[in-house]
Structure 1
């Protein structure tokens, strides 16, 4: 969800319903070095409580320093460690979904984070493993519980699966059976509130984590709150209501970027997600997706049929999909699962946030 869960989008989601809304993944090294881009990424809106920072790190010492900085400077109320990212620029350095394979390194990182977190809860999210031949989630869950992590979330795919195929909810059930000391959260293929209810029912997990399912759909969190409160009511905004949220989203992004043009450029990727299923002609879609100013975006949104009802059959996959031919790893990474050495220059390519 990099480039998605910035403050403007989090605010829209939080308005819809209760939940814990986590910022974009940032690197621990970039944080301790006070990288300008990273410091901008961890800004929260005044209305955001609790504030959740998502960290990525490979070096236990740097992770510990980053967590201590968050506590001492009151930068957040909750810390989430990302061991689920499958992108090559992260895994080839031993980070993200590659890291739990190194069990002792994972333990050192979690110990450093928890020891420096003070009163702040530390949670983790992870995948099943690198691939079907190198599954790590049960060991990682046990280690997390032993090291004082407050909760663990499992995206029920391997790194090699990336976002393809179907999430293995049975893995979530196995993790819940294995790790009973702390809450287990499930993630993967939650496209509507009923999916979340079904996941909890089938796996026994304590809660759910939503990623791609909320792309262009901040009101999904209203549905989730209703569902878990026993209500069958679901949000079904008209196209006009969607358009109003789209403009607020784009307008909010102007506060995250140095220039309005940059903000609108960043918003373009959201257009297709917001309009999914609605009857909008290709020319108008193109106009909205190429707008270069708030005025231009507003002019396009004003052309939409505002009374068009919410389209049926839109609770389907959004965002990235497809598997990867291989997972990029450091040389010799799979040789010893117990090695706790930190790869050389582990974060050098991704220290910008």
Structure 2
């Protein structure tokens, strides 16, 4: 039985099918978004994280990450930072230059280089800082008609949960929706996300909740909605090397059993399309494009019996012609590897240790000294 899936309204934006491509650093630039949106329903396909400080500093890489393809239906941009003033200035730039239709705020990143400075999933622990940051961003976006959403985790660890308070604050400060990755920072990407926490959050707030974590197949997406009652799903690692996962989810939400199972020849054609868009993304720099493509190749070929020599040959590619030559040498008729179709992709490890600023957990509010230390060494590096 297909659970009821309804459109979601985010301010002036209607999301006919509540499916989100989660922002992933180094992955969800516009070429990958275009691929996913081409397969999928009319959902939200969010750009990879852009650091507020880098945007304010007019860093060229930050500007590149803010680019959208002409055909993208909704221009969804994710920002993250620690200093509310810097975030406000970055959002002013986005609004003044008509740079996005929707802004998502990152409070879910568990990476140590971010959390050790109070950013990402560490930030909701400090209620005053969290509240001020959202308040300032919504204050700029609201008059411009740009909806703001927030991505959060369950908390820092099992003893320091933040998701219920954070979602309530997000709702009260004007966020249109919240996405919950149902793991703590300490859990990183290990084990299985706790979907019961998504259920809790759905019951606790009035704004739409998108569930995130361990959606590897269309059946997982259906199961999450059925089990949690969430308004929609956010897809992260599950689509790495599989942009057609969004087609599977579209079919599933329509009540169809149809699933995409491309053979290696079909996957190769997607790879060629992807790398050509990356050449455009890098303003014609083939070397940058094929280097960027390396991680995607590993994901695209996951489970296919192509051999180590072929994989290494892709890693040695420096030109588009060389890349095409390697794709053409693949066994075009090799069937899709069912054995890995429902298996985890990307990082699966637990965090070795959660990195936080000294004394971070001593209080739920920031002192003047803490703010000076945080904002003076904002992890949102302007240099990338």
TM-score by length of 2: 0.89
1:190 equivalent in structure 2: 215
- Is the aligned partner of 1:335 residue 2:362? yes
**Deviation, structure 1 residue 325:** 2.1
- Is the aligned partner of 1:9 residue 2:37? no
CA contact (8 A) 2:121 2:156 kept: yes
Q: Which moved more, 1:248-257 or 1:263-272?
A: 248-257
SS in structure 1 opposite 2:44? Answer: coil
1:351 equivalent in structure 2: 382
**Deviation, structure 1 residue 338:** 2.5
TM-score by length of 1: 0.97
List structure 1 runs of 4+ shifted beyond 6 angstroms: none
Alignment deviations for residues 71-119 of structure 1 (CA, whole Å, 9 cap, x no partner): 1210010000000001111111111000000112111111111110030
Q: Distance in 2 between matches of 1:132 and 1:346?
A: 28
**Deviation, structure 1 residue 229:** 1.7
2:11 equivalent in structure 1: none
Structure 2 segments unaligned to the other structure (5+ residues): 1-23
1:1-353 alignment to 2 at 5 Å? 1-18=24-41, 19-117=43-141, 118=143, 119-179=145-205, 181-257=206-282, 259-313=285-339, 314-339=341-366, 342=371, 343-348=374-379, 350-353=381-384
Q: Which moved more, 1:129-138 or 1:221-230?
A: 221-230
CA contact (8 A) 2:82 2:375 kept: no
**Deviation, structure 1 residue 348:** 5.0
**Deviation, structure 1 residue 344:** 3.4
CA contact (8 A) 1:27 1:350 kept: yes
SS in structure 1 opposite 2:31? Answer: helix
**Deviation, structure 1 residue 248:** 1.1
CA contact (8 A) 2:54 2:380 kept: no
CA contact (8 A) 2:110 2:120 kept: yes
Report the CA distance shift for 1:344/1:76 in structure 2 as closer, same or farther (over 3 A). closer
Alignment deviations for residues 137-178 of structure 1 (CA, whole Å, 9 cap, x no partner): 011011111111000000011111111111011111111111
CA contact (8 A) 1:89 1:350 kept: no
**Deviation, structure 1 residue 346:** 4.1
SS in structure 2 opposite 1:152? Answer: strand
Q: Distance in 1 between matches of 2:261 and 2:297?
A: 18
Q: Distance in 2 between matches of 1:172 and 1:352?
A: 36
